[in-house]
Structures are given as C-alpha cells and as structure tokens.
Amino acid sequence: MDKIIIRGGNRLSGTIPISGAKNAALTLIPCALLTEEPLTLRNLPRLADIDGFQHLMTQFGVSTSIQGNRPEDFGRVVTYEATRLTSTVAPYDLVRKMRASILVLGPMLARAGEATVSLPGGCAIGNRPIDLHLKVMEALGAQIELAQGYVRAHAPDGGLPGGDFDFPVVSVGATENALMAAVLAAGTSRLTNAAREPEIVDLCNLLVAMGAEIEGIGNSELIIHGVKRLHGATYRVMADRIEAGSYACAAAITGGDVRLEGAKGDEMAATLHALRNIGVTVESDARGINISSDGKLKAANLSTAPYPGLATDMQAQLMALLCRAEGTSVLNETIFENRYMHVPELNRMGANIETSGRTAIVHGVEKMTGAEVMATDLRASMSLVIAGLAAEGTTEVRRLYHLDRGYERLEEKLALVGADIERVGDD
C-alpha cells in the first residue's frame, strides 16, 4: 500500500489548478439515469469515488466513454448513455465503500419506477442515516421497504405522482435525491428547508439544462414541476470549493503565496471569512483566489453549519491550520458527531488539542514535528498533509485510499508550488 512522504518546511508559492468538485460530480453522474440520451460531463475529476460510481452505472447498463484521457491532464470529459436500463439493483459489493451510491435511488425510481439499493458505506465520521432519503421518496409517492440490508422502492403504476416535503433538518444528499426523483414526477413537488449548497445549485442547473422545470434554485424552498421526459446535455462540473479551501490552508500554514486557479470565492465565502479571521490575506477575482500569509496566524472560534455556514468538510483542515496559530481556538462540529478522529494523529505531530463531545480546543504551538500518521477519513487525511507541510522533519501519511477518494493527484499539485512531497510504495 502506498504512503505519502512529506519533508516539511517549504514555503508554498505558485498556482494550483482546482479540479471539478467531487461532491457535485457524484450528484451529476446519476442524472444520466434520467434520460435515454447522452449526458456529457466536462471537468470530471480523476478520483477513486468517481471510478467507483462509474462501475455502479455500468451495473445498470449505462455505457461510458472518456475523451482526452491523457495522464498529464487534470480532469476528464466523460459521456454517459443510458439508452436502456438493464438492471435496477445497486448491489452491496459496489455500494458498501461509497455513501453517495444512495443517490441512484431517486433517478432510478423516476425513470424505471423501481430501485433496489444496498445500504451505503463511506467515511466512518459518525451516524449518517438515510431516513430522510426514504421519507422524502415516500412523500413523492414511493413505497419503501427495508429488507436484508437493501432499500426496495417502488413507484405506483404511472410513476411517481410528486408531493410536498418539509425537511426537519437540512440534508444535502436527501435534497439531491428528491430533486432527481421529482423532475419526472406526474405533478408538482415542493421541498422546504432544502439544502442550498453550491453543489445543489449545480445539480439544479444541470437538470434545467436537461429540460427540467425548477423554481427557487439557490433558496431553501424548491418547486419542481414534473415533466414527461428529459433530454441529454453537455455540462461542466463546478470547481471543488473543498479542494480549494484545503490548498488555501496548506498555503497559509507555510507562510506561502498561492493562486487557486478556477476557485470561486462566492461559493466558499464562509471558508474565506474564517481564513481572514485567522490572519490570512485573501483576494478573489472571476478566475480564481489568491492566498498569502506571513505565517503569523491568529486563534479563532469556528463552528460548522449547513450552507451558507462553514462546511463540515473544512473543519479538519482549518484545525490543522489553527494548530500553528497564536492563542487558543475553539471549534464546534454541529453536523457529524464523530468527526475528530484526526485529533490523536495531529497530537502525535506535536499539536495540543483537547476534545469534549462536539467541541475541540486547539492550543496553538510554536512548532510541529513530523511523524508516522494514519488517515481516518477523507478530510482528516488532508489535515495531516497540511500539518506535515509545516512540521519539522519527515511526515509519513498512510491509508491513502482516503485521500484518493477526494483529491485529484494531490502530491503533484503540491509539488507544483514547492512542497517536498512524494508518493512511494510501502515496504
């Protein structure tokens, strides 16, 4: 198994191209199930999760063709064609490693009138039930049964009628699933307290490009007027705001000066606000974001929240940055109850972090030291890389399959801006 070796202390300087968003791409791909015509996605990142989802699409009879697949390129252009669905079953072997697989439930119900989906897996970052996915499908007219580790869903004869649903708590995934189910429903559906993340907007924009009728895009109330059919489209995946925020933390902790090419400042305002509070200089324009730091970081109090609040996917990276800030910082994790598994690994590198429930207290330290560390989930693994870039000596990060799920060729991008980093085989 591979590991990443980082020799810390280098100041990052230069330009990092930001890839297409993993969290958006995993929602856009299942839209191919909604039409018999081709769907072409541009700027699709090369990630393990994307490859896994494409294997799942093949299970349903969806053909995949890749353009411009040169190894030196970031991103790909991929066309999906679901002319005829050959299966409506998402089996355990394909679903167990990736929670996003539940996102085939809505489009499969809408197109085929039935779906059998294994209960999903993914990062072990706490309890992430799919009850809201199932409740909103029932509100749209589906019959749901749980049996032997599978969700079995059926639409009435004639398809889903549509309906109204008020989310008791904001759920990104359930909102996405509901949108894909409702666009082909017989009637009008109304979703209230819906998620507003930029990835939701990206999904809505693609569905509209395919012929869907959606009101309220970007707001917490969405009205979807069902149409009889959708057509194909060509669409560019949005830039990855979490990747951009991660590299911003990497630049800041090294006292660097990095341009995040392609990043959209308006889609990550809460992250940029947090960085400014920590003492990082942030300048954004229409084509990217400039991050610079003199290395003098300030403590801050941060709390994660649904969009437009601070993304939970940025908590671990900002924690790594705050390890080097002067003073004591307090972080509150309001989304997931078990998302501090990176804390013991950061403490192994000389950090001084205490946790109590969903609160972490970070006492800034003057220096951190390299160590052998183990990634516990996708964003936690990036926090260890960020810490390693500023640590004295050598850091070895293991369990890279977490990183490979969400960061396209990370070591190459960091090397572009001066990091001493390499991926090697584990002896």
Per-residue pLDDT tens digits for 17-60: 999 999 999 999 999 999 999 999 999 999 999 999 999 999 99
- The CATH code of the domain that includes 393 is 3.65.10.10
Distance, in Å, from the CA atom of 188 to the CA atom of 206, rounded to the nearest integer, reads: 19
pLDDT digits (tens, 9 = 90+) for 173-227: 999 999 999 999 999 999 999 999 999 999 999 999 999 999 999 999 999 999 9
Pick the last residue of a domain from 172, 203, 236: 236
> What is residue 93's predicted lDDT score, i.e. its pLDDT?
85
Per residue, the 3-state secondary structure of 266-335, as one string, reads: HHCHHHHHHHHHHCCEEEEECCEEEEECCCCCECCEEEECCCCCECHHHHHHHHHHHCCCECEEEEECCC
- Is residue 204 among the annotated active site residues? no
Residue 427: Cβ within 10 Å count: 4
Question: What's the mean pLDDT in 397-403?
Answer: 91
> What is residue 126's predicted lDDT score, i.e. its pLDDT?
42
Q: Do 260 and 328 fall within a single domain?
A: yes
Q: Do 285 and 393 fall within a single domain?
A: yes
What amino acid occupies position 116?
T
Q: Which of 31, 123, 204, 249 is catalytic?
A: 123
> Annotated binding residue at 384?
no
pLDDT digits (tens, 9 = 90+) for 255-283: 999 999 999 999 999 999 999 999 999 99
> Annotated binding residue at 73?
no
Q: Do 177 and 256 fall within a single domain?
A: no
Q: How confident is the model at residue 71 (pLDDT cuts 50, 70, 90)?
A: low
pLDDT digits (tens, 9 = 90+) for 115-126: 999 887 543 434
% of the chain residues with pLDDT over 90: 86
> Annotated binding residue at 105?
no
> Annotated binding residue at 23?
yes
Q: Do 161 and 173 fall within a single domain?
A: yes
> What is residue 426's predicted lDDT score, i.e. its pLDDT?
67
Pick the last residue of a domain from 182, 217, 236: 236
Q: Do 326 and 400 fall within a single domain?
A: yes
Q: Do 263 and 161 fall within a single domain?
A: no
The tokens of 282 are what? 């942030």
Domains of the chain: total: 2
> Annotated binding residue at 414?
no
For residue 167, the enclosing domain spans 22-236
Residue 123 and residue 402 in contact, taking contact as beta carbons nearer than 8 Å: yes
286 CB-side CA count, 13 A: 0
12: pLDDT strictly greater than 70: yes
pLDDT digits (tens, 9 = 90+) for 404-426: 989 999 999 999 999 999 999 86
Q: Do 231 and 349 fall within a single domain?
A: no
Q: Do 256 and 289 fall within a single domain?
A: yes
> What is residue 147's predicted lDDT score, i.e. its pLDDT?
86
127: pLDDT strictly greater than 50: no
> Annotated binding residue at 206?
no
Q: Do 325 and 410 fall within a single domain?
A: yes
> What is residue 423's predicted lDDT score, i.e. its pLDDT?
96
Pick the last residue of a domain from 236, 264, 283: 236
> Annotated binding residue at 51?
no
